[in-house]
Amino acid sequence: MKKAAYLLGALPLAVALCTSTLSLPTQAQTTDAPVTRMQIKMERDEFLKTHRWDEYGETWMLKSGVEPPANVKSRAEVKAARDVFLRNNKWDPTAGGWLPLKATPRDLNGMTREQVKSETEQFLKTHYWDEDSEGWLEKSARSRKP
């Protein structure tokens, strides 16, 4: 039973290796020849030499004593970069993108009256004036009406 679970865990790896666009040595070639079954097996075997399946974390981990490829950031470095980005940016659903928190103020004189009116209406759909705190607060998702 445990062996079947291990094989099922290896199935996503096999699919990922077959469909991956990573810059693996066989895919780095500039020929338009299709990848052969033998090449895929070789790539799989190379991957399995350096990685192991972590049952607890449900992810592939580097085996002990194996160094990651050059120019690959550690998990801690990636998380630190993510935290810095999230600290300095905010998702804006109206713009559909990330906006910097410490950006220079917008020039409202360059906007048309229709643009100002549209932004004001959008703001009033998502915020309300709170008398107690004397400030604008964001409405909860439940209280917003489409």
Per residue in 71-100, pLDDT (tens digit) is 878 778 899 999 999 999 998 887 788 988
pLDDT, averaged across the chain: 78
Tokens 């062996």 -> residue: 3
Closest by alpha carbon to 126, among 90, 88, 94? 94
Per residue in 125-138, pLDDT (tens digit) is: 989 999 999 999 88
pLDDT of residue 17: 52
Per residue in 46-60, pLDDT (tens digit) is: 888 888 998 988 888
Pairwise pLDDT comparison (4 vs 44), residue with the higher score: 44
Residue 109 class from Cβ within 10 Å (0-12 exposed, 13-18 middle, 19+ buried)?
exposed
Scanning the chain, the segments in alpha helix (DSSP H) are: 2-19, 37-50, 75-88, 113-126
Residue 1 class from Cβ within 10 Å (0-12 exposed, 13-18 middle, 19+ buried)?
exposed
pTM for the predicted model, two decimal places: 0.35
State the DSSP H helix or E strand holding residue 98, giving kind and residue range, or none if neither.
strand 97-100
